[in-house]
Amino acid sequence: MNFIDEVKIYIKAGDGGRGCVSFRREKFVPRGGPDGGDGGKGGDIIIRAESSHRTLLDLRYKQHHMAKHGGHGKGSNRTGRNSEDVNIIVPVGTLVKNADTAEILTDLCEDGQYFIAAKGGVGGKGNAWFATSTNQAPRYAQGGIKGEERWIILELKLLADVGIIGLPNVGKSTFISKVSAARPKIADYPFTTLVPHLGVVKYGNMDTFVIADIPGLIKGAHQGIGMGTRFLRHIERTAVLLHILDISREGYSSAWEDFETVNRELALFNPSLMEKPQVIAINKIDLPITRELIKKEIDIFEKKGIKVSAFSAATGEGVTMVIQEITKKLHSKKAS
């Protein structure tokens, strides 16, 4: 699996360079004063978000990141070099947390946004700074200040407008492959989707929205059963949820029961997810068993005041209507 959405890394900014103890030594200048230069600044550790990155995989295999120390001061009032900063590139949508306290340090949700996670130490002053009328030949200088260091956690939450949820094998991957250029793995067994996928959907007058296919949930997912809730963090940023149901699946009892099962897991993971508007859609209406049962299932939802759409991700029937319902919810959300 090449999709990594959480890593813990150690960062250490560079120490400041030492100040120099030096005295001017030139012919015909018998009493040259102190001329020790300052130390240079240590490099910073900078976390930078770039849209070209989609995963934290690179950081899984390199957990220690250290900047170089600043150069030491030299005679003739020469300042030591400043060390280069170390840039750690992460995907857009990455949270930076303090590993010890779980405090969120920053949320890098825009391309090019950056955060100085550890500041380099300032260089020490050379002995030229300490000359006075009563101490004209100081023989001491400052040491450089230590750079900051800490363990941090990088947690990726994909940026999408719409998140697709539902039980395993209800057709989430087929739907996203139908409406976007995303090409997730598709097969007729549970947990085909092992990682989230993003797709861009075009509609109307060339408007677009980003949709995320989240691995399926089952009863007890919040306790780690099945795929657990590992990927649910990726729908916490979404504005609308597309809840896909399948009444043709083996072991099917009722669409309403499946609907409640998934929503119960959402609520146990994060109650605020229940506040997100949902578009409810029953898939696989190309199958005879679905056409036979669908009216009864839709009536159950409508009695509870919930509108249900029907579509076939395989043939494309009804997909446009589902997209229209999604865009209505998105526009309503933006207006509020």
Tally the C-alpha atoms within 13 A of residue 111's C-alpha that lie toward its C-beta.
Answer: 4
Place of tokens 């300490």: 130
Copy the structure tokens of residue 149. Answer: 């260091």
* CA dist., res. 42 & res. 17, Å (int): 7
Give the pLDDT band (50/70/90) at residue 51.
confident
* CA dist., res. 64 & res. 110, Å (int): 25
State mean pLDDT over 43-60.
90
Quick: pLDDT tens for 54-91.
Answer: 788 889 889 999 999 999 999 999 999 999 999 999 98
* CA dist., res. 114 & res. 33, Å (int): 44
Quick: pLDDT tens for 147-205.
Answer: 999 999 999 887 788 989 988 888 888 888 888 765 544 444 444 444 567 787 887 76
* CA dist., res. 11 & res. 61, Å (int): 14
Give the pLDDT band (50/70/90) at residue 223.
low
Place of tokens 């499946």: 258
* CA dist., res. 333 & res. 336, Å (int): 5
Sheet containing 86-90: order of strands = 86-90, 45-49, 114-118
DSSP 70-81: PPPPBTTTBPPP
pLDDT for residue 104 is more than 70 = yes
Handedness of CA 90, 95, 96, 100 (dihedral sign): negative
pLDDT at 84: 97
> Model pTM?
0.71
* CA dist., res. 84 & res. 313, Å (int): 52
Q: Which residues pair with 10 in a beta bridge?
A: 64, 151
* CA dist., res. 86 & res. 62, Å (int): 13
Q: Which residues pair with 244 in a beta bridge?
A: 281
Q: Which residues pair with 65 in a beta bridge?
A: 11
Cβ 107 vs Cβ 97: under 8 Å: no
pLDDT at 11: 98
pLDDT for residue 214 is more than 80 = no
pLDDT at 192: 43
pLDDT at 270: 85
pLDDT at 126: 96
State mean pLDDT over 318-322.
93
Give backbone dihedrals phi and psi of 163, rounded to 5 degrees, phi first.
-115, 130
Q: What superfamily in CATH does domain 162-335 come from?
A: P-loop containing nucleotide triphosphate hydrolases (3.40.50.300)
Share of the chain above pLDDT 70, in %: 88
pLDDT for residue 217 is more than 90 = no
Beta strands per DSSP E along 20-179: 45-49, 64-66, 86-90, 94-98, 104-108, 114-118, 149-156, 162-165
* Cβ-based burial of 160 (10 A; exposed 0-12, middle 13-18, buried ≥19): buried
pLDDT at 285: 95
Domain boundary assignment for the chain: 1-156, 162-335
Give the pLDDT band (50/70/90) at residue 101.
very high
Mean model confidence pLDDT for the chain: 86
Interacting residues of 273 by C-beta distance below 8 A, sequence separation 6+: 232, 235, 236, 241, 266, 267
Quick: pLDDT tens for 255-293.
Answer: 999 999 889 888 888 899 899 999 999 999 999 999 999
Give the pLDDT band (50/70/90) at residue 304.
very high
pLDDT at 325: 93
- CATH architecture of the domain covering 1-156: Distorted Sandwich (2.70)
pLDDT at 184: 43
pLDDT for residue 245 is more than 90 = yes
Copy the structure tokens of residue 268. Answer: 């146990």
